[in-house]
């Protein structure tokens, strides 16, 4: 069985930097025509000049036989000013500004502590149509980790929309039925990305037979009812919900330790994982809109014209791939995937 669709884009990915780029850029470039690249490097990508330099480092790792365009983002800090937004917009290589509430997740220390201090910057973004890409979790340690997204919607996102009704917003990697409802009922200026892992797994995956660090990400996996809400909205074909892998590689030793990093690596088989999730709920026919059309439409970019083919041809996911002088453990390591993306060759395992 074959499934031919328009070549997809990844509207949320972590490609890292330095040596790490060498392993993960070819994987994302093989799967996707374009990707929104997260700016949470150390130090973060806070200026257009840094985004331009980072873009060049990414392009240097794109294999010669694939076409891939990295879409850069800036990391919003308490000090990002409207001038930086103008420079970003004029560059034509920056396509979003990422809001990490300070302390919410990996490398978010320089994130925003007080959003109300950024009104003029957000006005500049609304004015030129540059989207705000939101990590939607409160950082209040008093709020249960499984509730942090839902509380963020009430405490932060709702007031933000009231203050900046023209601001275009992507609520990234949504995980709850509350977020599905919020975005569905919001104006057309608000959209959401959804990961493959949040469509495939509920929170039991974190504790199956013991603690599973490779299933730990932020926002954390939720209860089954939330996974079902995510699947249902994708299966409905709603055009403001689209693919964003949040593929977030960490070297194995940074995950398998007393205090492991958040992040699930899916770039090795992103499209295959989404196909698996949608097929399981009878919605494979929604894959193309979700993966290849809706994101481009929201970002006001042309849809891709090339196509890719997925084939029913079972393969076993390697136990690990080379990464940053060590290894990264991919989602589904050692398991069989029934779908295979046809195309140029596989990547070196350790
Ligand atoms: O699980 C996550 N990993 N969530 C994030 O928000 C950041 C990401 C990372 O950079 O590792
Ligand atoms: Zn992310």
Rounded to the nearest angstrom, the distance between the alpha carbon of 1 and the centre of ligand 2 is 33
The pTM (predicted TM-score) of the whole model is: 0.97
Question: Which residues neighbour 118 within 8 Å (Cβ) at sequence distance 6 or greater?
Answer: 76, 78, 80, 112
C-alpha–C-alpha distance, residues 159 and 12, integer Å:
24
Question: Hey, what domains does the chain have and what are their CATH numbers?
Answer: 8-300 (3.20.20.140)
**Residues, Cβ < 5 Å to ion ligand 2:** 246
185 is catalytic: no
Catalytic: which of 9, 78, 162, 246?
A: 246
pLDDT in tens, the chain (350 residues): 899 999 999 999 999 999 999 999 999 999 999 999 999 999 999 999 999 999 999 999 999 999 999 999 999 999 999 999 999 999 999 999 999 999 877 788 889 999 999 999 999 999 999 999 999 999 999 999 999 999 999 999 999 999 999 999 999 999 999 999 999 999 999 999 999 999 999 999 999 999 999 999 999 999 999 999 999 999 999 999 999 999 999 999 999 999 999 999 999 999 999 999 999 999 999 999 999 999 999 999 999 999 999 999 999 999 999 999 999 999 999 999 999 999 754 455 55
Here the tokens at position 328 are 């990264």
Distance of CA 122 to the CA centre of its chain: 22
Q: Which H or E run contains 231?
A: helix 224-235
Per the listing, tokens 């991919």 go with 330
C-alpha–C-alpha distance, residues 331 and 319, integer Å:
9
Q: Which residues pair with 35 in a beta bridge?
A: 10, 70
């Amino acid at each position: 069985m074959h499934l031919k669709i328009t070549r997809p884009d990844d509207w949320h990915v972590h490609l890292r930097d330095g040596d790490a780029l060498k392993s993960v850029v070819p994987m994302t470039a093989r799967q996707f025509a374009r990707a929104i690249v997260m700016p949470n490097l150390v130090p973060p990508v806070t200026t257009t000049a840094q985004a331009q330099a980072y873009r060049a480092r990414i392009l240097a790792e794109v294999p010669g036989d694939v076409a891939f365009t990295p879409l850069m983002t800036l990391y919003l800090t308490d000090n990002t000013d409207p001038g930086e937004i103008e420079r970003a917009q004029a560059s034509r290589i920056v396509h979003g500004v990422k809001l990490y509430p300070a302390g919410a997740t990996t490398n978010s220390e320089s994130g925003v502590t007080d959003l109300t201090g950024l009104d003029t910057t957000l006005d500049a973004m609304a004015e030129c149509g540059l989207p705000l890409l939101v990590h939607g979790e409160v950082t209040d340690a008093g709020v249960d980790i499984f509730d942090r997204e839902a509380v963020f919607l009430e405490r932060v996102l709702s007031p933000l929309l009231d203050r900046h009704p023209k601001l275009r917003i992507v609520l990234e990697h949504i995980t709850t039925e509350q977020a599905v409802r919020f975005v569905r009922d919001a104006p057309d200026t608000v959209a959401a990305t959804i990961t493959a892992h949040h469509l495939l797994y509920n929170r039991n995956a974190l504790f199956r037979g013991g603690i599973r660090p490779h299933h730990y990400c932020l926002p954390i996996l939720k209860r089954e009812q939330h996974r079902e809400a995510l699947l249902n909205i994708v299966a409905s074909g709603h055009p403001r919900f689209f693919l964003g892998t949040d593929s977030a590689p960490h070297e194995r030793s940074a995950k398998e330790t007393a205090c492991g990093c958040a992040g699930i690596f899916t770039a090795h088989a992103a499209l295959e994982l989404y196909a698996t999730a949608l097929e399981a709920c009878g919605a494979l026919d929604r894959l193309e809109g979700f993966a290849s059309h809706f994101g481009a439409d929201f970002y006001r970019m042309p849809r891709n014209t090339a196509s890719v083919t997925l084939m029913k041809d079972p393969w076993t996911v390697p136990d690990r791939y080379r990464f940053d002088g060590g290894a990264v453990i991919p989602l589904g390591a050692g398991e069989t995937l029934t779908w295979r993306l046809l195309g140029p060759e596989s990547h070196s395992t350790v």
